[in-house]
Amino acid sequence: MSEEIIKDVIVGENEDYIINMGPQHPSTHGVLRLEVCLKGETVKYLIPHIGYIHRGIEKMCEADTYQQLIHLTDRMDYLSAHMNNEAVCLCVEDALQVEIPERVKYIRTILDELNRIASHQLWWCAFGMDLGALTSFFYGLRDREHILDIFEESFGSRLLHSFVMPGGLMHDVHPNFQKRTKEFIKYFRKKLPEYDQLLTGNIIFQNRAKGIGYMSRETAIGYGVTGPSGRGSNFACDVRKIAPYGAYDKVQFNEILGTGGDTFARYQVRMAEMWESMNIIEQLIDNIPEGDYTAKMKPIIKLPAGEYFRRVETARGELAVYVVSDGNKSPYRMKFRTPNFSNLFVLNTLASGHKIADLIAISGSLDLVIPDIDR
């Protein structure tokens, strides 16, 4: 397609022109290049160019043991590191038919939801900033710091924790974990309405988000757009409901579905998910059973020959792990179906016909994390 574009421009047959957005554009939150074809200020179509931080994680996994490759999965979607770890661990536990302790299931689910809140907070502040609202950045990061402090106390790291291990957890959580999590929920229940006051009701924000980047339910299913972005188009794709893992079958929660399908609907789904995540944590935090933090595992894990497939819900959508094992200590082939990979390529459909300023709002509402696309 790009050869035709170059011909058009050189020959001057039409008034379209191409601009490159990225690879180092602040709104792409990573190294993503969008080749945008414009007519005036209107986007005709865009072509995403990816691979700037392709590290070959799938290839590296083939040389690592299962305990080692957990640490690579953190580096895919670094904002839902915990869920990425869990996806691989569920696969291994499935294959070995290990029964993990109840305590582990509860703690994993609480951490999943804390991680989801932290990720949505960062999305909220960055989304506000994409649209020119700088204050939201300070509000979001201020509250996210509380979660990262809880993580740091228990795991020793703030972003890439690699805390979940096949069979359980790396070690037990800090004794303060329950107390501090409850404090955080109490604190954030007061602070989250501020987000709505600051941005949701703002008329400038609403004008920039409502009716922009409409995605129909069919488009979402066809492109495989999952997570809050897909649910904003009424596509019920929550893996926590479809195939519950961890302690999700023990809690009551609603799958948030939006019907608008536009940028504002995706925004509202994420805001409502933060409330829902707090509900889930509150149901679990007082009932964490006593017990071991890990099941008994052999030091060298060898999966029986065969194929294993597990899915989890990360903060951005459905992460599926597909492992082919030949009975050795490393996987024969490891495939990560990452949510952002599918979410990115719907951008052309959503942005076509809108102004270039709206492209920023649309890509912000998809909440892309580029290392997750490149892997």
Partner 1 sequence: MLNKQELTDIITGLIPETEFPEGTQLLEVIVPAEKYFSLVEKLKSDQKLSFNYLISQTAVDFLSHMTVVCHLESVEFRHLIVVKVLLTDRENPTIDSLTALYPAAEYFEREIFDLFGIRFNNHPNLKRLFLEDDYGYPLRKDFRDEINIIER
Least distance to partner 1 from the beta carbon of 127, Å?
Answer: 24
- Look up tokens 């421009």; give the residue: 9
Q: Given its phi and psi angles, is residue 182 left (phi above 0), alpha (psi -120 to 50 degrees) or beta?
A: alpha
Of 46-54, 146-154, 182-190, 196-204: span binding partner 1 (CB under 8 A)? 46-54
List binders of partner 1 among 309-348 (CB under 8 A).
309, 311, 318, 320, 322, 324, 332-333, 335, 337, 341-342, 345
Kindly tell me which of 66 and 235 has the beta carbon lying closer to partner 1.
235
d(CA 255, CA 323): 28
Residue 204 makes contact with partner 1 by CB under 8 A? no
Kindly tell me which of 240 and 311 has the beta carbon lying closer to partner 1.
311
Residue 222 makes contact with partner 1 by CB under 8 A? yes
* Contact assessment for residue 119 and residue 89, using Cβ atoms and an 8 Å cutoff: no
Collect all residues with Cβ–Cβ distance below 8 Å to 208 and sequence separation of at least 6.
Answer: 131, 263, 357, 358, 361
Among 205, 223, 245, 248, which residue interacts with partner 1 (rule: CB under 8 A)?
223
Kindly tell me which of 238 and 273 has the beta carbon lying closer to partner 1.
238
Of 109-117, 119-127, 219-227, 363-371: span binding partner 1 (CB under 8 A)? 219-227
17-21 β-sheet, strand order = 17-21, 33-39, 42-49
Number of residues that bind partner 1 (CB under 8 A): 35
Of 35-43, 55-63, 103-111, 131-139: span binding partner 1 (CB under 8 A)? 55-63
Kindly tell me which of 33 and 208 has the beta carbon lying closer to partner 1.
33
d(CA 331, CA 339): 22
Of 23-31, 129-137, 269-277, 305-313: span binding partner 1 (CB under 8 A)? 305-313
Collect all residues with Cβ–Cβ distance below 8 Å to 13 and sequence separation of at least 6.
Answer: none
Residue 221 makes contact with partner 1 by CB under 8 A? yes
Task: Quickly list DSSP for 241-299.
Answer: HHS--TTGGGS--PPP--SS-SHHHHHHHHHHHHHHHHHHHHHHHTTPPPS-SB----S
Residue 68 makes contact with partner 1 by CB under 8 A? no
Rg of the chain in Å (alpha carbons)? 21
Among 7, 59, 171, 186, which residue interacts with partner 1 (rule: CB under 8 A)?
59
Count the neighbouring beta carbons within 10 Å of the beta carbon of residue 24: 11
* Dihedral angle over CA of 59, 62, 63, 68, nearest 10: 100
Residue 143 makes contact with partner 1 by CB under 8 A? no
Collect all residues with Cβ–Cβ distance below 8 Å to 98 and sequence separation of at least 6.
Answer: 92, 166, 167, 295, 297
Residue 1 makes contact with partner 1 by CB under 8 A? yes
Kindly tell me which of 56 and 193 has the beta carbon lying closer to partner 1.
56
260 to 212, 235, 266, 298: CA distances (angstroms): 10, 11, 8, 50
Count the neighbouring beta carbons within 10 Å of the beta carbon of residue 135: 12
Query: Is residue 227 helix, strand or coil?
Result: helix
Residue 214 makes contact with partner 1 by CB under 8 A? no
Kindly tell me which of 250 and 337 has the beta carbon lying closer to partner 1.
337
Kindly tell me which of 173 and 215 has the beta carbon lying closer to partner 1.
215
Q: Which positions lie near partner 1, rule CB under 8 A?
A: 1, 50-51, 54, 56, 58-59, 63, 94, 219, 221-224, 235-237, 242, 306-309, 311, 318, 320, 322, 324, 332-333, 335, 337, 341-342, 345, 374
